[in-house]
Amino acid sequence: MKSNRILSTIITLLLANQALAATEIRLATHDSFDLPKELIAEFEQKNDAKISIIKAGDGNELLNKLIISKRKPIADVVYGLDNGNILKANAENLLADKQPESAPTVVSMPHALAVDFGFVAINYDKKWFKEKGLALPKTLADLAKPEYKNLLVTPNPATSTPAMAFLLANIGGLGEEQAFDWWKQMRNNGVKVTKGWSEAYYKEFSLNGGSRPMMVGYSSSPAAEVFYSKGKLSTPNMGNLFLVGGVYRQMEGVAVLNGAQQPELAAKLAQYLQSDKVQRAVPTSMWVYPAVKNVPLAAVMVHSSVPTAHYAPHDKRVFANYKTWLSRWNKTVLK
């Protein structure tokens, strides 16, 4: 018995020393970041590292927190900045000048390694529309009509990257003045604004017990609905509206941060997010498409419809007008 206690003590001390020896690598992400635990553990074991995941809210909240803390960075590497805010992140000197080499990808981002992409659009509750006998809107202008009053919920673009992406699609597809005129009409027609996507989906969307049968979200959400039903659904209860000026291709990336305490390990982690195992896990972990070329998709992604067109202003125009558009949206919709 005594020898067993001694052996147990030795093993405990060895494990404690091993944990102390592991190098901490801090990964800042948005709240939707999710990978299988075994993939996190694999990187840690291969690199004698411990990943500390810092979830910092929705995508634009993440950016804001990185800006506020840039003199004393909260992380070594960041995942979740997108093509709508990456130029702002670089202009704020958040990103290291030299990023690791990227794998071949189907989409690309400046100043970062592309990890995934998806499409922001309007999701709708099929059952609700069928029961009400209400025709689906065919244009954004239709949504401002009386029959669709109080039916749409959207996250706030100041804190939510999908909401900002949707605003950029509006501007890209309708034109700036027409886009903000549409938002003025939508305010009068009862659009509801939440802080983030989670609040819109889980609290306000009618499929989850809310009162709004349409929400700004992702085209992959119907596939996620089928997946999480665990065999109860063979087809989704939600669909997508791909309206002119209402679809955006969002790309997300990973980048080493300026002032990283562990820049070499940060570069390895960035490249790991482009590895085959991680890329194969991305669709059913975060419900987006893998950015790296030739990665097979899970069968359930057949329910994630792909639009034939998407809309956005030029990246440089987005960067030049980012603050102005957010401020104008806020004044138009909320004040």
232 falls in which pLDDT band (50, 70, 90)? very high
Max CA pair span of the chain: 80
Question: ∠60-61-66 over CA atoms, to 5°?
Answer: 95
- Residue range 25-48: mean pLDDT, rounded: 96
Which pLDDT does position 60 carry in this prediction? 85
Any residues with CB less than 8 A from the CB of 228 and at least 6 apart, and which? Answer: none
Q: Which helix (H) or strand (E) holds 247?
A: none
Same fold, 2-117+251-297 and 118-249+306-333: yes
Residue 9 reports pLDDT greater than 90 = no
Residue 38 reports pLDDT greater than 90 = yes
Backbone angles phi, psi at 192, to 5 degrees: -105, 140
Residue 191 reports pLDDT greater than 70 = yes
pTM of the model: 0.86
Residues in the chain: 335
- Residue range 27-40: mean pLDDT, rounded: 95
Which pLDDT does position 3 carry in this prediction? 53
66 falls in which pLDDT band (50, 70, 90)? very high
DSSP per-residue string spanning 54-105: EE-SSHHHHHHHHHHTTTS-S-SEEEEEETTTHHHHHHTT-B-SS-PPPPPB
Residue 19 reports pLDDT greater than 60 = no
In CATH terms, 118-249+306-333 corresponds, of 3.40.50.10860, 3.40.190.10, 3.30.1340.30, 3.40.50.1820, to: 3.40.190.10
Which pLDDT does position 59 carry in this prediction? 79
| Residue ranges of domains in the chain | 2-117+251-297, 118-249+306-333
* Dist CA 333 CA 192 (whole Å): 9
335 falls in which pLDDT band (50, 70, 90)? confident
Query: Quick one: CATH architecture of 2-117+251-297?
Result: 3-Layer(aba) Sandwich (3.40)
15 falls in which pLDDT band (50, 70, 90)? low
Q: Which of 42, 98, 87, 47 is CA-nearest to residue 63?
A: 87
* Dist CA 290 CA 300 (whole Å): 14
Residue 86 reports pLDDT greater than 80 = yes
- Residue range 292-320: mean pLDDT, rounded: 94
Each residue of 107-126: pLDDT tens digit?
999 999 999 999 999 999 99
